[in-house]
């Protein structure tokens, strides 16, 4: 195992990696921007190095400064977390050239999965089911011919990047003609690559992903699925494991497909193979060649520390787990807690947190960038915490999440906690009737969120006064 690991990230994921290092007896180094000098992750690391101004382009995206910090502090490995440089091939190569282990896949595996059109071809060749579609499109006439072959409606998608950027739905030839150029322009601006392709538009789609671990000795295992269908503008809001619609037989088939996909590109370390699932069928979507934001729900149901396993794999150790032992136990749900206002189209709400109190009790875990009241910077992603619960059943996990959200007090800024409470009350969510269109198809969530804003204000006020136990009970009764 390494003596020292540098964490090339910030916020809650930096804290998560620092804690895994501490569990292994490994010294941790945090790099931080000027804006994050007083952040919890920088304080809790064994050593902290400032690498530039607040803007990510001048700090967290500066490969040269990060590698230099690793060399100066004696770090033998760099963990990139997620986001920033986590899927940057140049960063992985720079680490290798400097003799530093990159805690992630080899750059060749990143490249193989980094662009969707070549990745689709690889998966088809390996026998992994893919959504019917086209290759890279040269012009509108080729797109029209492909759409007629695939069948309308179709999705126009960018080959590079992700997050739904550049994606358009076309229900007929007219929409395809207008959408193709718009998708190309968006892809060029966002990724510097205007390549687009078509996929059949899948009805009632669910976003289901499979976690894999692969060591450098040829062993690959999957750790079951995560249901990630609750999304807003292609960004995940709530995740759970397992999925309400996946039975053991299909879990095994999807897991084998994910292992095949990883093996086809020589994958090593932790990765996630994403599938679109509809009416019992599943199709390869893409592979995320890094640790996912939602990895804790897999940890909770599998009893595996994925970050510790990442570090062990990067150090050359073999996987010791057996596939037959990796079965989900109970149910876990994660809510992403963001500094944003759900009543104002989820506008980011950076600022000073004046009161911060995390929920606790059986089955509750909080992975947060905050440990005390502090500031939320406008320079970075608005996610400030992940609230994770475990329960023996999905019903129990939903009940625990409701309880934990009610207890979570964050004052001074607006958060999306009331939206999560409204979501958990929605009958279709409770019944597990999910799709990636869930939020736009349930406009009543906004009205219910407004109701929860008022209820939560009453409850938070009572919880801040620990001496008034009677008031706490009364406030809880109001929200029931």
- Residues labelled catalytic: 290
How many C-beta atoms surround the C-beta of residue 278 within 10 A? 15
Peptide bond into 359 cis (omega under 30): no
480 CB burial (10 A radius; 0-12, 13-18, 19+): exposed
Give the whole-angstrom CA distance, residue 92 versus residue 181. 34
Give the whole-angstrom CA distance, residue 422 versus residue 200. 33
Give the whole-angstrom CA distance, residue 64 versus residue 62. 6
DSSP string, 383-446: EEEEEEEEESSHHHHHHHHHHHHHH-EEESS--SHHHHHHHHH-HHHHTT---TTTTTT-THHH
How many C-beta atoms surround the C-beta of residue 465 within 10 A? 10
Place of tokens 């980094």: 114
Contact 222, 242 (CB under 8 A): no
Give the whole-angstrom CA distance, residue 30 versus residue 44. 9
CA distances from 203 to 46, 144, 154, 180, 436 (A): 50, 21, 11, 21, 10
Query: Any bridge partners for residue 351, and if so which?
Result: 376
Picking from 361, 385, 332, the residue whose alpha carbon sits closest to that of residue 15 is: 385
Tokens for 25, please give them: 């007896």
Half-sphere exposure of 172 (CA within 13 A, CB side): 1
CA distances from 219 to 8, 248, 291, 466 (A): 27, 22, 18, 52
| Longest Cα–Cα distance in the chain | 72
């Amino acid at each position: 195992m390494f003596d020292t690991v540098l964490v090339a990230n910030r916020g809650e994921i930096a804290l998560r990696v620092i804690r895994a290092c501490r569990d292994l007896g490994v010294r941790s180094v945090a790099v931080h921007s000027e804006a994050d000098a007083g952040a919890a992750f920088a304080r809790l690391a064994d050593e902290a190095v400032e690498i530039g101004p607040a803007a990510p382009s001048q700090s967290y995206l500066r490969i040269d400064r990060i590698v230099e910090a690793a060399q100066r502090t004696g770090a033998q490995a760099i963990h990139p977390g997620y986001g920033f440089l986590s899927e940057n091939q140049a960063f992985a190569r720079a680490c290798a050239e400097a003799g530093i282990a990159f805690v992630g896949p080899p750059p060749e595996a990143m490249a193989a999965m980094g662009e969707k059109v070549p990745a689709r071809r690889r998966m088809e060749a390996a026998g992994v089911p893919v959504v019917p579609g086209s290759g890279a499109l040269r012009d509108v006439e080729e797109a029209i011919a492909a759409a007629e072959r695939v069948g309308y409606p179709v999705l126009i998608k960018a080959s590079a990047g992700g997050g739904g950027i550049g994606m358009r739905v076309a229900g007929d030839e007219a929409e395809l003609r207008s959408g193709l150029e718009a998708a190309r322009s968006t892809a060029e601006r966002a990724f510097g690559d205007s390549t687009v392709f078509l996929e059949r538009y899948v009805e009632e789609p669910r976003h289901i992903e499979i976690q894999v671990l692969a060591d450098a000795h040829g062993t690959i295992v999957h750790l079951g699925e995560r249901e990630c269908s609750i999304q807003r503008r292609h960004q995940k809001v709530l995740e759970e494991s397992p999925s309400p619609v996946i039975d053991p037989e299909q879990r095994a088939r999807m897991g084998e497909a994910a292992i095949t996909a990883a093996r086809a590109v020589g994958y090593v370390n932790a990765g996630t193979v994403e599938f679109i699932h509809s009416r019992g069928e599943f199709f390869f979507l893409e592979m995320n060649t890094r640790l996912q934001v939602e990895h804790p729900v897999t940890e909770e149901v599998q009893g595996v520390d994925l970050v510790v396993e990442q570090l062990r794999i990067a150090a050359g150790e073999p996987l010791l787990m057996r596939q037959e032992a990796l079965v989900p136990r109970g149910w876990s749900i994660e809510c992403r807690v963001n500094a944003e206002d759900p009543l104002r189209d989820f506008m980011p709400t950076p600022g000073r947190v004046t009161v911060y109190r995390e929920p606790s009790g059986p089955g509750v875990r909080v992975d947060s960038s905050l440990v005390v009241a502090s500031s939320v910077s406008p320079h970075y992603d608005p996610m400030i915490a992940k609230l994770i619960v475990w329960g023996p059943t999905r019903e129990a996990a939903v009940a625990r999440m409701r309880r934990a959200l009610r207890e979570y007090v964050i004052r001074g800024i607006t958060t999306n906690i009331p939206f999560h409470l409204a979501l958990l009350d929605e009958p279709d969510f409770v019944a597990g009737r999910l799709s990636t269109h869930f939020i736009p198809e349930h406009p009543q969530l906004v009205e219910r969120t407004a109701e929860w804003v008022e209820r939560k204000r009453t409850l938070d006020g009572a919880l801040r006064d620990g001496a008034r136990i009677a008031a706490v009970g009364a406030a809880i009764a109001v929200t029931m």
